[in-house]
Structure 1
Amino acid sequence: MLYAHTKAKLVMSALLLALPLSACATEREAMETGTETTTVQEEVKQPAMAAERTSAAASSKTGNIALVDSLQGGYTELATGLDIPWSMQFAGDTVYITQRGGGIVQVKDGKQTVQKVQTSKPLRVVGEAGLTGLVLDPDFASNQTAYIYHAYEQNGKGFNRIVRVKLTNGVWKEQKALLEGIPGGTIHEGGRLAFGPDGMLYSTSGETGQRELSQDRSSLGGKILRMTKDGKVPQDNPFANSYVYAYGLRNSQGLAWTSDGTLYASDHGPSGAPIPGGGTDRTGLDEMNMIKPGANYGWPKVMGSQTAKGMTAPIYVAGSRAIAPSGIAATPEDTILVATLAGESLKLFDPSTRKMTNILTDVGRVRDVMVHNGHIYVLTNNTSRGSAADHDDRLLQLK
C-alpha cells in the first residue's frame, strides 16, 4: 500500500481547510526583472500521510505494476523557493516552470535559474492573472520554441493571449501572438496549454467570473480552444471559423489525453463564487470531463451531475467540499493524476471506475503534475493562498 506506514493518517481535513480557489485575492504583482541562479540541495522526504492503492484494474491493463503502485513513498526536492509556480515542461532532464508573477525558472543539473520573458504587451499580474500556461514545441530540441499563456491589459481591461516565444541566450522572446483578446479579469483565468496527439495546440480559458460567457460561443471565455501551431483555426474544428472546441466550462486548468486519444479536462466547481442577485455559492461540485468536439458542459445552466438537453454531464463530480482540480496528467495505465489546490493533494482518477483516490498529501496545495520518464513530478502552490513552509514552493519528484 502506498505510504503504508502512515495509512491511519488520511488527512481528509485538508479538504476543509483551504479557502475556495475562486475567491478573489490580492497577489504579488512584481514581474521578474533579472536572472538569478541558486543551487538546490536534494532532500528525501517521507510524507506523513497514507494513500490507498489504486484498483487492480489499473495494473491489469498492461499486465505490469501500475505507475502509482510502484511508488516507494517519499519524494525528492528538485527545486525550492519558487514564487507561485503554475506550469512545468520537460526538455530531457531540464525542467522549465512558469511563475505567475513573471519569469520562467530553468531547473538544470541541480541549479535553478530565473529566465526573463519578453513580450510585446506587458504582463498583467493581479489576482489569478499573470504568466500561467506553458508548453514546449514538439521540436523544442531543435527550434528552442515554446508557447505561453499570459495576462495583459488593454484600454483599462484585462485579457489573456497565447504567444509563441523562443529561448535565446537565456531569455524567452516573443516571436508571434497566436491569439489575443481571451477574456481576463482577476479570477477564473484558465490558462492550461497542451499539444494534442493530433498536433494541434489546445488551451483552456476561464469565464473570469462572468458566467454568461461560458454559453456564448462567440466569446473565447469558459472554453477549450483549439488551433494550429501558427494560430489558425483548424478546418475540422466543430464550429466554422471558430477556435472553440468545447464550451460550457467554468475554470478548466487541466488537459490530458489517454493512449486511445481521449481528451480529459478538469474544471473548478462553483464553490466561493458570487451568486447573481446576492449571496455566495458554497457547493463544491468540481468536475472531471471527457471532452468531445462541440460539446456543451453546461455551466452555468447546470452544474455537477445535473443534466439538460443538449448538455454533456461530467464523468466525475466531487462532493460538497471543493478540491479545486488544476493540472492533470495521464499515466501509462490510462488513469489520470489530478493536482488539487483546495484538496491539498495529488489524486488519482480512474475513468473506468470513476473513482478518485489520494496519492500524496501533506505537501499543501498542488498546482501541476507531470509524468516523465516513468516518474511523477508535482508543483506545490503554497505561496498563493496556502501556508508556505520554508522551502515553498517546490518541484518534487515522487519516489
Structure 2
Amino acid sequence: MTAKKRITAMVMTALCLGMLAACEKNEAPGSQPPANTATNAVTEIPMETETGAETNEPAASEKPVEAFTVLAQELRVPWVITFDKDVVYISEREGNIVKVDGSNMTRQSVHLKKSVHGNGEGGFLGFLLAPDFVDTKNAYAYHTYEENGRILNRVVLLKQNGEQWDEVQALLEGIPGAANHDGGRMAIGPGNLLYVTTGDAQQRELAQDLNSLAGKILRMTLDGKIPADNPFPDSYVYSYGHRNPQGLSWNAEGVMFNTEHGPSGDPGGHDEINIIEAGANYGWPDIYGDAKKEGMVTPIYHTGEKAIAPSGATIDGNNRLLIATLLGSALYRYDPATNQMFVVFEGEGRLRDVKIKDGRIYIITNNTDGRGIPSKTDDRLLLLNDVN
C-alpha cells in the first residue's frame, strides 16, 4: 500500500474539504487583521465543501494559545527559520541572514555571484543549514535573480565566514521565475537529500512540462547531483503539476506532505495539502479541488473557495501538520487521521514560517511584505508558549 493510500484510508469517512486557499497574488493590502490584534484564540474552521453540500461536524475546540515570547523584532520581510542548536537563523527577502542568539540579533550580509532580484514574491527565499554545519559552516539558499532580461531562480551553496556568508558554488541555475509563483521552500528529507519547491512562474503550462524545472518539487544530492533513483532519468524532477508549492515536511513514517496555493480569480481558493510520491503528477493546471483526471493526483485536502494562502509547514509530535498562513493570518493545525483543521494561533497578522524545535513552536510574522499591516516592531520571531 502506498503512503498516500495509508493516509487516505484514515480519512475515508471525511469529505474532501476546504483548507488553505488562493495565491498571495490575490491578496489586497489590509485584507487581514492588524498585526497587534491580540486575540490569540482557537477558532474552529468551517468545514465547507466546494459545492456547498452537507459538511462534517466541527471538531471540538482545542486549548487556546495564551501567550508568546518575542525573540526578535524589526525583521525585514523574513522568509524562513532554521536552527543551529539554540541559535536561530532567518533569511530576509532583500538578501540578508539574521542571526538570533539569545537576546542578541545580528544582520549578516550574503555575498552572491548573481544579485538578488527582489521584485514581487521573489528574492532571497529558502535557506537551510547543512547537516554538517557545525564542522563546515555550509548552508543552502534559493534566490531569484535576473539574467538577459529573464527572471530566474537558483540553488547555491554558501559558507559562513565570520559575520557574513559567501557563495561557494551554484548547484542549480536557470529555474524559471516571475514576479509571482517562485516556490523557494527547501528541506532535507530521507536519505539526506535536498528537496526544493519551484512555482509555475506564472506560465501554468510549464507545470506539466517535464523538460522544465518550473512547477515542480526537485530532488538533489547535497553536492547538487541528480540522485540515481530519481523518478525521471537524468532529471532533478521528483514530482510535477504544482502551481506554487510552499510547505514541505515528513511525518514519523517518512510520508512527505506539501502545502500549495490554489488558483486565483474565479473560482479562487482550492489551496491544497498533498502527499508527495516520486514521479506523481499533481494536476495543475488541468485539475484542482476535487477534480479527477487519469494519471493525476487529487489532493487529500483542499480549501474549497476559502483563501488562506499557506506558507511554511511542519509536522508536530502527533503527526499533525502545522501551517503558517499569509492571507489566513493564522497558524493552522491539520490532522490527517480525522481530516479536521483548527486555528491554533492568530492575531499577529501574516505568518510566513513555522518550525518546531525541542517540542517548542517558533513562527515568523510577514507583515512588512507590502501586503500586511505592520506594527512598529514588525516583523518578529515569536516563540509560542503553550500549544498542545
2:362 to 377, 380, 390: 377
| 1:211 partnered with 2:204 | yes
Percent identity at matched positions? 47
Give, in angstroms, the shift of residue 202 of structure 1: 0.2
| 1:50 partnered with 2:41 | yes
Contact 1:46–1:75 (CA<8 Å) still a contact in 2?
Answer: no
Question: Aligned residue for 2:11?
Answer: none
Q: Which amino acid aligns with 1:22?
A: K
Give, in angstroms, the shift of residue 382 of structure 1: 0.6
CA–CA separation in structure 2 for the residues paired with 1:142 and 1:70: 41
Gaps of 5+ in 1: 1-14, 27-44, 55-67, 272-279
Which secondary structure does the structure 1 equivalent of 2:364 belong to?
strand
Deviation track 1:31-66 (CA, whole Å, cap 9, x = no partner) reads: xxxxxxxxxxxxxx9941421599xxxxxxxxxxxx
Cα RMSD, aligned residues only: 2.3
Contact 2:140–2:158 (CA<8 Å) still a contact in 1?
Answer: yes
2:82 to 89, 113, 128: 89
| 1:393 partnered with 2:386 | no
Change in CA separation of 1:20 and 1:180 when aligned onto 2, cut-off 3 Å = closer
2:166 to 145, 152, 173: 173
CA–CA separation in structure 2 for the residues paired with 1:170 and 1:267: 34
Taking the TM superposition and a 5 Å limit, the aligned residue runs for 1:318-397 are 318-384=303-369, 385-397=371-383
- Displaced runs of 4+ in structure 1, greater than 6 A? 68-71
CA–CA separation in structure 2 for the residues paired with 1:318 and 1:147: 32
Q: Which amino acid aligns with 1:331?
A: D
Give, in angstroms, the shift of residue 281 of structure 1: 3.3
Q: Which amino acid aligns with 1:181?
A: G
Question: Aligned residue for 2:302?
Answer: 317
Change in CA separation of 1:227 and 1:380 when aligned onto 2, cut-off 3 Å = same
Give, in angstroms, the shift of residue 20 of structure 1: 5.2
| 1:307 partnered with 2:292 | yes
Deviation track 1:238-293 (CA, whole Å, cap 9, x = no partner) reads: 0010000000000001100001000000000112xxxxxxxx43410000000000
With normalisation by structure 1, the TM-score equals: 0.83
With normalisation by structure 2, the TM-score equals: 0.85
Gaps of 5+ in 2: 1-18, 30-35, 46-60
Deviation track 1:17-36 (CA, whole Å, cap 9, x = no partner) reads: x995124999xxxxxxxxxx
Taking the TM superposition and a 5 Å limit, the aligned residue runs for 1:50-69 are 50-51=41-42
Give, in angstroms, the shift of residue 73 of structure 1: 1.8
Relative contact order, higher structure (CA 8 A, sep 6+): 2
CA–CA separation in structure 2 for the residues paired with 1:88 and 1:124: 21
Deviation track 1:205-245 (CA, whole Å, cap 9, x = no partner) reads: 00111100100011000000000001000000000100000
Give, in angstroms, the shift of residue 352 of structure 1: 1.4
Q: Which amino acid aligns with 2:157?
A: R
Taking the TM superposition and a 5 Å limit, the aligned residue runs for 1:255-270 are 255-270=248-263
Which secondary structure does the structure 1 equivalent of 2:135 belong to?
helix
Question: Aligned residue for 1:182?
Answer: 175
Which secondary structure does the structure 2 equivalent of 1:198 belong to?
helix
Change in CA separation of 1:302 and 1:163 when aligned onto 2, cut-off 3 Å = same
Q: Which amino acid aligns with 1:378?
A: I
Give, in angstroms, the shift of residue 391 of structure 1: 1.1
